Every structure is written in structure tokens, then in C-alpha cells.
């Protein structure tokens, strides 16, 4: 009885929604969910994202967390991420290999020890860059099976890159590379 | 598709060093460096006449730092190296570790004080783990070195930096033949708590064994007596200038030289 009532309510609700509104709801629903390990945006980061129709362009909004035990301090942060699948090939009906992906991300870390806008205690332009945000660039690849996918990324940050460029002799390129791996589920 | 799996596995396994959870994480690759180096220093027989180096502001100058380390290792009459702070630029993990990796190659003991840049973000936590206390003293022979945090602006001039009570306690001891002060921001800087500048410089002079006050921050080598009270202040050494101060102590006399590498 309960089930019938629920189905009736659901049907009448969806019927009563104008078609346009339905479309809007559909467009607002995320295209995939993401869970990532490392990559400079958290021990674990998770969130949702939207894709282009062919899934060659994928965006993510991720919340990241580092426990004190692993990171020395507890870190909470958010990340906006843009990935472009540059080279991709279908193996068969179910399997697709993303040979090369690349992208950019911006990360914001929460906490009063970081600043985005220069605090009042400093004169104008005292420190050149905000400590609460970093930009990352990355390249990697992945594998998709039906609606699930896994990926890896080799990335670096704006600050790492600045250190490297200013110290070509002393800093090995490998030292500025960080690794991230993750999984996506496409709805 | 089977080609990508071994690649991914290899990437996962190749190095834990390349696992960065977040740039602001605090994962020092060396700990208690000041304590370890002081132990090294104390194990040596102190000379009555000795030379030491003071430099700093090595922030983001790793090429220069490597050259500095090689240069100091080529000298054979240096007892120890003092770093006056601003080891790093943004106070974050990679920078501290890169600096520590390079300093580890120094053959002589080195002691580091904290600079304003070292305090950014989680820098204070990182400094504490990697080097130790922000205010500390050590002896070499009959000379005493008082090292302290003078980066007042970082705590918005709230009176906590420098710790005047602590400094006053250290300066009560008149047993050392010489007292040297080491800190990053000199008291005549706008980044020092100007409301206690007078008290600070009078305090330094309250102990007549105080010979010299050593600083950095200004990226410009200069020696002066800004208060005309007989106490010299030396501001020296930064990465991009490839310079350092060579201090020779003989009895209760000292001499200063600006050196380049």
C-alpha cells in the first residue's frame, strides 16, 4: 500500500513538472562522482563534476582532507579542477583508454594561519602570493570500463614550478612532481 | 589497455617522496636539527680564537645555497655556521625539506633561527619540528649565543615577539666572556615592534659582555651602531647576493668581514 502511494506521488510529481523544468533538473544533476588520493589536494578528496557530451572535458569540485597523522597538521581544502582528455581510444564496447589527459586546478585551504588577501598587519604587497591558494597543473591517463573509471596524474604546483625555474641547477625536475590517483563513476 | 596497468602500478610504487597530500602539509625530512648540530658543536674542543660564518635569507635560492655549502666545506678554519632566518619563502613543506637536504651537506655544525617567511602558513610548526625552539642559547668556549625570534610583525605586534622576559633572563648571566645576539629582524626595522625598540636595545646593552648583534632580513650587508651606545649591529648575507659575514673572535675582540662565494 505504502509502495503504491509512493509511486503514485512520484509519478504525479514528475508529470506535474513542466518539461522545461525537468530539463533544468537534469542539467543540474552532476555527470560524475570523483574520489582522489593525493595529488596535492588532500590525502583523499571527493566530489562531483560535470562533463562535456563526449566526456573529453571533465570538471570537478572536490573537498579534500588530510588527517594530522599523515600530514602533520589537519588540512581541509576545496579544489576546482578542469581536465581535458587529449588522446582517448575505445578498445571495445565497454572499455575506453584515456591515453593522455591534462588539466589545471585551483585549491583553497581553510584555516586562520593562511591568507588569501593580505591581512592588515602587512603593508601593501608585503608578501607576493596568497598562502591559502595554490594552482596545480597535471598530465596523466586513465581507463574507463562502462560507467566506472580510474585515472592517474603527475602534477606540480605554481610554487614548485617557481622554485624549479629559479633553481634549475639545484632542484631536480623529479622533485617537483607529485602523484595523484583516483576513480570516477559516471552517472 | 594492458599496457597502461603496469605503468600505473609503477607510478604508484616508484617513490613515496612524490606523494604530496597538500603543499601545506608538515612532513619534515629531518628533525631537531639545532639540537643535533649543537651536540656536534659541543663535542668539538673550542678554540680560544675562532671563526664563524653568519648568513641567511636563503629563501628560494637553492642554486646559491648549494654553492654556499660547497664554498664553506672548502674552508678549513670555520667552527660553525649561523643562519639568521628566512630559510624559506612561503613556510611550506617542500621548501623546508629542500633547504634541509642542502644544509645537511655542511661539514661544520649549523644553527638556524626563525625568520618572518619561515613563520608563514604552517611554517612555525615546521620550524619547531625541523629545528627546535624559537628562542634558545648555546655556548662555544667562553662565548654565548642568544638566538631569538624578533619577527614582531608576524603576530601583528601583539607583544609576544620578541619575548622580552626570556631575553632579560638570558642577559642576567655575566659569566660568559662574550655574548652574541642572533635574530632575523633587526630592532631598527619597521618589522620589529617599534614600541619596544628602546627597551630592547637598552636590554642588550644592560650586559656589558654583549659584543655584537647579528641579523638578516634586509638583504644588504651593513655594520653600524644605530644607537650610538657602543653596540654594533651586523646585518648580513642573503642568497641572491652570494655573500656572508665572516666573524673572527679572539678573546673578547672580534673582527668582521663581508665575503662572497
**Is the ipTM here above 0.85?**
yes
CB-based contacts of B236, cutoff 8 Å, min separation 6: B54, B55, B56, B84, B214, B215, B216, B221, B222, B243, B244, B245, B258
Element (H, E) at A185: strand A178-186
Tens digits of pLDDT across chain B (261 residues): 566 666 666 655 556 779 999 999 999 999 999 999 999 999 999 998 999 999 989 999 999 999 999 999 999 999 999 999 999 999 999 999 999 999 999 999 999 999 999 999 999 999 999 999 999 999 999 999 999 999 999 999 999 999 999 999 999 999 999 999 999 999 999 999 999 999 999 999 999 999 999 999 999 999 999 999 999 999 987 899 999 999 999 999 999 999 999
Q: What residue in A sits closest to B8 (Cα-Cα)?
A: A152
The backbone torsions φ and ψ at residue A175, rounded to the nearest 5 degrees and listed phi first, read -65, -20
Which residue, among B20, B87, B130, would best test binding to A if mutated, counting the most A CBs under 10 Å from its CB? B20
To the nearest whole Å, the CA of B120 is away from the closest chain A CA by 7
CATH for B33-260?
Answer: 3.60.21.10
User: Rounded to an integer, what is the distance from CA B178 to the centroid of its chain?
Assistant: 19
Q: How confident is the model at residue A1 (pLDDT cuts 50, 70, 90)?
A: low
CB contact under 8 A, A167 and B60: yes
Strand segments, DSSP code E, in chain B are 49-55, 78-83, 110-112, 136-140, 143-147, 178-182, 210-215, 222-224, 232-235, 243-250, 253-260
Residue B45 is classified by DSSP as: P
Structural domains in chain A plus CATH codes: 19-186 (2.40.160.20)
Helices A158-166, B93-103: inter-axial angle, 10-degree rounding: 30
CB contact under 8 A, A66 and B11: no
Q: What residue in A sits closest to B11 (Cα-Cα)?
A: A179
CB contact under 8 A, A179 and B92: no
To the nearest whole Å, the CA of A42 is away from the closest chain B CA by 5
Cell numbers that stand for B27 in this block: 612532513
Out of B20, B120, B190, whose CB is closest to A131? B120
Pairing of β A148-157 and β B210-215 = unpaired
Q: What residue in A sits closest to B12 (Cα-Cα)?
A: A179
Helices (H) and strands (E) in chain A, counts: 4, 8
At A164 the three-state DSSP class reads: helix
Written as one string, the DSSP assignment of A19-76 is HHHHHHHHHHS-SEEEEEEETTS-SEEEEEE-B-TTSSEEEEEEEEEE-HHHHSS-EE
Asked if A91 is an interface residue toward chain B (Cβ–Cβ < 8 A), one would say yes
Measured CA angle at B44 (ends B39, B50), to 5 deg: 115
Residue B251 is classified by DSSP as: T
To the nearest whole Å, the CA of B158 is away from the closest chain A CA by 10
pLDDT tens digits, residue range A69-119?
999 999 999 999 999 999 999 999 999 999 999 999 999 999 999 999 999
User: What is the percent of chain A with per-residue pLDDT over 70, rounded to a whole number?
Assistant: 89
Amino acid at each position: 500500500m505504502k509502495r503504491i502511494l509512493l509511486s503514485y506521488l512520484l509519478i504525479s510529481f514528475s508529470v506535474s513538472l513542466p518539461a522545461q523544468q525537468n530539463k533544468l533538473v537534469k542539467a543540474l544533476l552532476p555527470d560524475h562522482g570523483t574520489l582522489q588520493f593525493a595529488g596535492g589536494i588532500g590525502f583523499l578528496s571527493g566530489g562531483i563534476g560535470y562533463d562535456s557530451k563526449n566526456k573529453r572535458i571533465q570538471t570537478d569540485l572536490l573537498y579534500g582532507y588530510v588527517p594530522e597523522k599523515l600530514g602533520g597538521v589537519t588540512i581541509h581544502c576545496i579544489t576546482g579542477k578542469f581536465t581535458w582528455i587529449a588522446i582517448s581510444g575505445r578498445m571495445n564496447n565497454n572499455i575506453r583508454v584515456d591515453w593522455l589527459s591534462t588539466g589545471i586546478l585551483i585549491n583553497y585551504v581553510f584555516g586562520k594561519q593562511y591568507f588569501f588577501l593580505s591581512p592588515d598587519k602587512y603593508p601593501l604587497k608585503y608578501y607576493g602570493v596568497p598562502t591559502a591558494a595554490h594552482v596545480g597543473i597535471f598530465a596523466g591517463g586513465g581507463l574507463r570500463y562502462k560507467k566506472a573509471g580510474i585515472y592517474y596524474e603527475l602534477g606540480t604546483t605554481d610554487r614548485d614550478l617557481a622554485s624549479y625555474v629559479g633553481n634549475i641547477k639545484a632542484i631536480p625536475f623529479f622533485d617537483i612532481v607529485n602523484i595523484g590517483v583516483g576513480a570516477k563513476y559516471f552517472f | 589497455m594492458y599496457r597502461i596497468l603496469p605503468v600505473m602500478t609503477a607510478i604508484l610504487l616508484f617513490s613515496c617522496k612524490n606523494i604530496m597530500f597538500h603543499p601545506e602539509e608538515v612532513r619534515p625530512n629531518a628533525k631537531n636539527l639545532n639540537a643535533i648540530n649543537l651536540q656536534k658543536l659541543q663535542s668539538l674542543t673550542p678554540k680560544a680564537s675562532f671563526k664563524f660564518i653568519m648568513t641567511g635569507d636563503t629563501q628560494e635560492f637553492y642554486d646559491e645555497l648549494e654553492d654556499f655549502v660547497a664554498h664553506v666545506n672548502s674552508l678549513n678554519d670555520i667552527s660553525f655556521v649561523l643562519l639568521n632566518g628566512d630559510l624559506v619563502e612561503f613556510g611550506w613543506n617542500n621548501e623546508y625539506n629542500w633547504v634541509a637536504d642542502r644544509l645537511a651537506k655542511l661539514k661544520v655544525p649549523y644553527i638556524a633561527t626563525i625568520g618572518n617567511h619561515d613563520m608563514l602558513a604552517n611554517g612555525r610548526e615546521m620550524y619547531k619540528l625541523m629545528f627546535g625552539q624559537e628562542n634558545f642559547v648555546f655556548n662555544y668556549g667562553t662565548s654565548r649565543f642568544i638566538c631569538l625570534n624578533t619577527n614582531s610583525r608576524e603576530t601583528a605586534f601583539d607583544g609576544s615577539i620578541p619575548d622580552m622576559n626570556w631575553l632579560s633572563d638570558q642577559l642576567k648571566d655575566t659569566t660568559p666572556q662574550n655574548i652574541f645576539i642572533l635574530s632575523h629582524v633587526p630592532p631598527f626595522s619597521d618589522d620589529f615592534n617599534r614600541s619596544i625598540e628602546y627597551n630592547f636595545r637598552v636590554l642588550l646593552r644592560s650586559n656589558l659582555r654583549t659584543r655584537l648583534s647579528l641579523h638578516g632580513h634586509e638583504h644588504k650587508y651593513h655594520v653600524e651602531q644605530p644607537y650610538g651606545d657602543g653596540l654594533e649591529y651586523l646585518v648580513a648575507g642573503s642568497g641572491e647576493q652570494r655573500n656572508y659575514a665572516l666573524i673572527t673572535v679572539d678573546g673578547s675582540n672580534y673582527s668582521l668581514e663581508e665575503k662572497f662565494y
